[in-house]
Amino acid sequence: MPIRPATCLEQGLAVQFLLARHGYPARLHIGVARFGGGGMQAHAWVDSGGAVVIGDSPVLGRFVTLTVLEP
């Protein structure tokens, strides 16, 4: 069975868990954005202390946050 890379949501959940377990604040953001041709894309990222820890992107500002999960 081929191994696939982890999705941004899977990575975000793992990082949020590890940060929270070690006492760091960690918020998991889940958002969507529209890109060319009318398509939508979903993305997840984690911030801690006001900085994006994982999931940063040059187009992150285009994503509208649907929800923020805190441990």
Give the model confidence (pLDDT) of 31-56 as tens digits. Answer: 999 988 888 999 999 999 999 999 99
Percent of all residues in the chain with a pLDDT value above 90, rounded to a whole number: 89
**What are the beta bridge partners of residue 62?**
none
- pLDDT at residue 34, rounded to an integer: 92
Residue 58 clears pLDDT 80, i.e. is over it: yes
Strand-strand pairing, 39-48 and 51-54 = antiparallel
| Run of H or E including 56 | none
Token pair, residue 21, equals 């377990």
CA distance 32 to 60: 10
- HSE-CB of 54 using CA atoms within 13 angstroms: 19
- Model confidence, pTM: 0.90
